[in-house]
Amino acid sequence: MTVQTIRMIGDPVLRQVAQPVDPAEIATAEVQSLIDDLVETMRAANGAGLAAPQIGVSRRIVVMEVTDNPRYPYKPRIPLTVAVNPELLPLDGETVEINEGCLSVPLRGDVVRHVNLRVRYLDRHGVPHDEVVRGLTAGTWQHECDHLDGVLIVDRVADTRSLATWDEFSRHQRDAFVTRITEFVERAGS
């Protein structure tokens, strides 16, 4: 396991549509090593998730995990999840505005996300999963899977006036956002 360099906005790999992983490849040392590096890099950066393009590999793999992350005290827990070739299907038209950050973009901004999603993917052992996720967890899935399609949060921000660096967000917007999103999490249950 190696902590990799996280690619930043402007790197062309972040704008490519990532290639699917052949299910027969999942058990290979190459793919397992990539998964280990993604997990290690995400944890080292205190991220909630990371997609393979963010470490320069244009493959359809994302990892997610939320435990006691000081950057996201309002996020519900997500056990370590490895998703190979994930597919997302919104279940209805309900949305929520989330102020999101990204390890590849040194800004935060307000992004509208679906609240209820069906997610289908293969785990690191090639086992298929078909689950329903809600709330901020659904937002995390959408954010990470956007990376697989070359989409960054700056593409999703409807009002660019919401863009802020992490420091300025903490100084001017964080408290109001945490209050609003905590109320949403309590209502949504996730």
How far lies 142's CA from each of 40, 66, 90, 137, in Å?
A: 21, 15, 10, 9
Burial of 102 (0-12, 13-18, 19+ CB in 10 A): buried
Q: What is the pLDDT of residues 131-188, one digit of tens each?
A: 999 999 999 999 999 999 999 999 999 899 999 998 999 899 988 888 888 888 887 7
Burial (CB count <10 Å: 0-12, 13-18, 19+), residue 59: buried
- Residue 22 burial by Cβ neighbours in a 10 Å radius (0-12, 13-18, 19+): exposed
User: Following CA atoms 162, 78, 58, 146 in sequence, which dihedral angle do they give, to the nearest 10 degrees?
Assistant: -40
Pairing relation of β-strands 78-90 and 116-122?
A: antiparallel
Give CA–CA dist 4/190, Å, rounded: 30
Q: Which residues are catalytic?
A: 144
What is the reported pLDDT for 91?
97
Can you list the alpha helix ranges (DSSP code H) found in the chain?
29-44, 135-148, 153-156, 166-172, 174-188
Half-sphere exposure of 187 (CA within 13 A, CB side): 8
* Per-residue model confidence as pLDDT tens digits over 90-124: 999 999 999 999 999 999 999 999 999 999 999 99
- Tokens coding 31: 């793919």
What's the confidence (pLDDT) of residue 190? 61
